[in-house]
Amino acid sequence: MPLHTPCGAPAAASRHYIECPAFTVTAFSVGPLPHQPGVQVAVLGFPLLLILTYGQWGIVLVAMLLLVLGLVRLDLLNKRRKDRQELRKMQVEYEAMQHSVIRLGQLETLLRQQMRVQERLITAILHDIKSPLYYLLISARALSSRITSTAGGLQADAAAFYDATYRMYQLLDNLLQYVKLHAQNKHNVQEPIALRALVAEKASIFTNMAAAKNIDIENDIDDSLTLRNDRTMLAIILHNLMDNAIKFTESGTVRITATVKDGQVCLEIADSGVGMHAGWMDWVNQPLSVDTPPYPAENGLGLIIVKELLAEIHGRLKMSSNENGTVAEVIVAYK
């Protein structure tokens, strides 16, 4: 006589495979099962098989299995809830970060506008000061040349007056050129530069001062030497170094040469002056950074501007000095 299960389904020939779809409703509701009917019946009939095989112990085993499956599902739900919370937290942080980025962009635009206004204002002030100061410089030079040595100490006073006026004029001119570069936002504009012509242009500015100090300016650069770089920045650099060479020389020579080696141009300004202090040399030959020791204030802004501009055109400055004079080397890429 065929056996019947409690749900009314006929028992299979083997106890290892029992078809009882109705039992699945109460036995397993943990998660989705495969869509194949045979697999569903085999898996869902497994608890009933345990009960029929082991009786009360089967019921205990099924209860333990259901408990384990329930705990696993609860753990999965907790993890899923935590993941959703983390996702919401990340979304909130991302939105806050986006807001901060937008705010920073607005502040950057505002700061740029303020800097442009300040640069234009400084440029205008320096330009207005430069004109009357230049007239004062011309007058001081004329006064110094007209006073003879027989006029007591007047000649020395006039020479000192002219020297002080000249230094003030050079300081303002340096500031004006430097501010103009930043105000016009023209940094590192590459163009062909005839180096000898540039040196000659700058040497003409110092002709009168060099003659008054009995200094010969020698331009020994080859006519054919041309490089590509920022002409304005290189002109400011050359101007300041030539000014320093003439300033520290009392009767002698200032010689400018240039050589090409290993893809680099070495522009050398050598004078026969009294030389520079060893502490100044240490400062000059260090890379310009926040850790660089402060530059001696009595030297003015010339070498500071030189080093900053050289950093912008990817060049460097080397200086050496002794009792026979000072040599300044400007090294830039040859291209």
Is the pLDDT at 176 greater than 60, yes or no? yes
Give residue 3's pLDDT: 40
More confident call, 30 vs 324: 324
User: How far is the C-alpha of 218 from the C-alpha of 195, rounded, in Å?
Assistant: 14
More confident call, 154 vs 295: 154
Task: Please state the rounded mean pLDDT for residues 105-134.
Answer: 72
- 3-state class of 6 per DSSP? coil
Grade residue 25 by pLDDT with cuts at 50, 70 and 90. very low
Is the pLDDT at 335 greater than 70, yes or no? yes
Give residue 222's pLDDT: 94
More confident call, 221 vs 27: 221
User: How far is the C-alpha of 210 from the C-alpha of 202, rounded, in Å?
Assistant: 12
Mean pLDDT of the chain: 76
Percent of the chain past pLDDT 90, that is, above it, reads 20
The ranges assigned to domains in the chain are 188-335
Is the pLDDT at 185 greater than 70, yes or no? no
Beta bridge partners of 329: 268, 318
Task: Please state the rounded mean pLDDT for residues 175-194.
Answer: 74
Angle, to 10 degrees, between the axis of helix 231-247 and the axis of helix 302-312? Answer: 150
* Residue recorded with tokens 């000072």: 326
Percent of the chain past pLDDT 70, that is, above it, reads 67
- 3-state class of 28 per DSSP? coil
This prediction's pTM: 0.56
Task: Please state the rounded mean pLDDT for residues 224-241.
Answer: 90
Is the pLDDT at 60 greater than 70, yes or no? yes
User: How far is the C-alpha of 230 from the C-alpha of 333, rounded, in Å?
Assistant: 11
* Residue recorded with tokens 């141009």: 265
Grade residue 240 by pLDDT with cuts at 50, 70 and 90. confident
Grade residue 250 by pLDDT with cuts at 50, 70 and 90. confident
Residues 6+ apart with CB under 8 A from 244: 302, 303, 326, 328
CB 258 within 8 A of CB 197: no
User: How far is the C-alpha of 51 from the C-alpha of 49, rounded, in Å?
Assistant: 5
Q: DSSP assignment of 270-314, as one string?
A: EE-SS---HHHHHHHTSPPSTTSPPPPGGG-SHHHHHHHHHHHTT
Of 161-175, 235-249, 258-272, 302-316, the poorest mean pLDDT is in 161-175
CATH class assigned to 188-335 = alpha beta
Residues 6+ apart with CB under 8 A from 157: none
Is the pLDDT at 218 greater than 70, yes or no? yes
How many CB atoms within 10 Å of residue 126?
A: 20
- Using only the alpha carbons of the chain, give its radius of gyration: 44
More confident call, 324 vs 44: 324
